[in-house]
Structure 1
Amino acid sequence: MEFTLGADEVVRRIKHLQTSGGSVSKKQVKQSDPELMRNALFYFPSWEHALKNADQL
């Protein structure tokens, strides 16, 4: 499996979703941006961890 985004880019895209009013629910992101979900789960133990990491920046 190829991972196209770095951890920093994953966090940036999550923050962009949050600030633009997009849904960050796991189900929604899986459907709307599977690449983001795949990469987030590669770099972080769970989607929730990725969200927490994005909130800290």
Structure 2
Amino acid sequence: MKVYLISLAVGLLVGILYSMLNVKSPAPPMVALLGLLGIVVGEQLIPWIKNLI
């Protein structure tokens, strides 16, 4: 969990830096990020269901 929080903090820091320098972020559009989120949730869903059963 600590790695995820560090990653989030660094991402926020870089986002703030990009905003201050008025640089456009190379990150994909929101639709692509939501797709990646769906992949991660789907990947974790099956083991979670198996543990419940």
TM-score (normalizing by structure 2): 0.35
TM-score (normalizing by structure 1): 0.33
Query: Is the helix fraction higher in 1 or 2?
Result: 2
